Structure 1
Amino acid sequence: MKVGIIGLGAMGRGMAGSLLEAGFQVAGHDPAVSEMFADKGEAFALFPKAFDLCADCDTIILSLPTAAVVETVIDGMLNAAKAGLVIIDTTTSHPDTSVRVSALLAARGVAYIDAPVSGGPSAAATGSLGMVLGGSEDDISGVAPVLDAITRIRTHVGGVGAGHALKIINNALCAANLVLGAEAVRLGQAYGLDPQNVITGVNSGSGRSGVTEVNFPRWILSGDFDSGFTMKLMRKDVRLARDLIAEAGLSLDMMGATVAAWEDSETAIADGEDFNRIVATVLEDEAK
């Protein structure tokens, strides 16, 4: 089985490396990349056009920045896509986009699976991503060896679009927990508590979250702020969550406050900064 990857940024590059390590032949496309994996010889091929991968690969992974880019890439691939091809979309995209492109591909006998990932570049590079999947059970089973090479844990959550909906929900919770975690530390400081002790104490109790267990120790309290995920990307995901809430006709007060906090941060924190910098809106001293 030969696997193509369209989008060789930090995530796509890491997945390509994990697939090569697992023994797959890999083909890639990214207009920003001229050369990579030169030491892998014929095991890795870089293609100048995305649609060139259609004839060369059995499975193609998309690792792209936005839903709009996904639609553009799929449109460019349609005429070249062959029946039996499977596309695995790891982009954090909109579920409506997933449904639209899936229908276009199905008309050509091409399967589509929405499979957004968590864990960042380090997990991509070590084949230990978390993944939520939307699509048919048969299609997902058919690419199990590929998924095995890039994931540590994955969950099939429903039909096409379900994976992207749940990923947006997950990232909205992460965005909220960053702000709430910073406020918890700020409150602790007001009572003379060291930030490290606040986080350690919370992590021993029921208030803990992935943010307090991972983000605070690894990237915030350490002052490193080098997770590989930017403010721009998380702002995009928060906007997607805002749109899902509106489309569902719901009024969710806490999610609304989270959206507002991230929108308000745009004047203070540049898009290129690490997304954990959002704590600077609450904890200015610790975020410097």
Structure 2
Amino acid sequence: MTHTIGVIGLGNMGRNMAATLVKKSFTVIGFDLSETACKQAVEQGVIPASQLSILTEQCDIIILSLPKAEHVEAVCLGANGLIHLVTAGTTIIDTTTSVPETSRMVAAECVKRDIAFLDAPVSGGPAGAAAGTMSMVIGGDMKAYRHVLPVLEAMSSTRVHVGDVGAGNIAKIANNMLAAAHLITTAEALTLAEKAGVDPEKVLEAINAGSGRSAASQAMFPTWVMTKAYDSGFTMGLMRKDVGLAKTLAQSLNVELPMAMKSAELWEDSIHKLADSDDFCCIAQCTNPLLFGKEDNA
């Protein structure tokens, strides 16, 4: 595949995805409103575009990595949005953790102009984006998915095509709902062990050998919590947003999910102790600030 790939949004995720594609011998043109982000991307081999129109003139596959659904809508459907700039036959891959309604609305406008749109939110954080080991859950037309599969394969180690447009976002919201809850329940399990006089590190090892393990216990706690590193690259604010998306989706469907709602409440309440800019794994500190605080005597 010789396509020139455009990446819009050069934050921690977008920039590292772009850099991974460069390493895989793709030509990548990047755009971001932040000059700092653009300079960092250039250092990683990305060609900068000063305007969206410059990017769209050269790219028939465009990847979005944006903060929220409203940014996706603005970039795609705004007065100077992508639907007014890209040529027919272009495929837009949206890796933003967005909402299904926005993806479906954007896709409906794109199809009128013979533009394909896939919602393809990712998991794995900036490190996974940089290593090309992310997982992707994808919604959209199967023909469009197959067309861009070589690009997706270069960016990720695991891909699941979930269904029509919007299905990828629903799958990602469900995944992050679990990840958010697992961080809290793992912190509670280790607190239980500590209060009972057993080494939490040993109990974490035991959990990871048993049926209670999760990505929180296997990766997040060993890497960022127990080490007190708290530098995953994913923030409290972003996870609060994702938990809020799960809560809103459940309410819109009139589904009773008591565990999910309690988790959402705990994440919402954590704003009184943890800033949006803090690492998302810091949520463990709300359960046990002495055990999980950045200093043992915090």
TM range (shorter): over 0.9
Which residue among 223, 227, 244 is the counterpart of 2:249?
A: 244
- Map Cα deviations across residues 30-50 of structure 1 (whole Å, 9 max, x no partner): 01134245467xx73211222
| In 2, Cα distance between equivalents of 1:39 and 1:279 | 35
Post-superposition offset of 1:56: 1.0
State the match for 1:207 in structure 2.
Answer: 212
- Map Cα deviations across residues 152-190 of structure 1 (whole Å, 9 max, x no partner): 011001000000011011001000001100110111111
Question: Which stretch has the larger CA shift, 51-60 or 22-31?
Answer: 51-60
Tell whether 2:39 aligns with 1:35: yes
| In 2, Cα distance between equivalents of 1:264 and 1:61 | 34
* 8 Å Cα contact 1:50-1:73 kept in structure 2: no
| In 2, Cα distance between equivalents of 1:186 and 1:73 | 45
**RMSD across aligned C-alpha pairs, in angstroms?**
1.2
- Map Cα deviations across residues 117-176 of structure 1 (whole Å, 9 max, x no partner): 000011101111100000111101001111111000110010000000110110010000
State the match for 1:271 in structure 2.
Answer: 276
Unaligned runs of 5+ in 2: none
* 8 Å Cα contact 2:15-2:41 kept in structure 1: no
What secondary structure, in the 3-state scheme, does the structure 2 residue paired with 1:143 have? helix
* 8 Å Cα contact 1:81-1:108 kept in structure 2: no
AA matched with 1:98: S
Which residue among 177, 187, 197 is the counterpart of 2:202?
A: 197
State the match for 1:287 in structure 2.
Answer: 293
Matches within 5 A, 1:107-186: 107-186=112-191
What secondary structure, in the 3-state scheme, does the structure 2 residue paired with 1:208 have? coil
| In 2, Cα distance between equivalents of 1:213 and 1:88 | 30
What secondary structure, in the 3-state scheme, does the structure 1 residue paired with 2:52 have? coil
Number of aligned positions between the proteins: 286
Normalised by the length of structure 1, the TM-score is 0.97
Tell whether 2:93 aligns with 1:88: yes
* 8 Å Cα contact 2:10-2:41 kept in structure 1: no
Post-superposition offset of 1:84: 0.3
Q: Which runs of 4+ in 1 moved over 3 A?
A: 36-40
* 8 Å Cα contact 2:19-2:46 kept in structure 1: no
Percent of aligned positions with the same letter in both sequences? 44
Normalised by the length of structure 2, the TM-score is 0.94
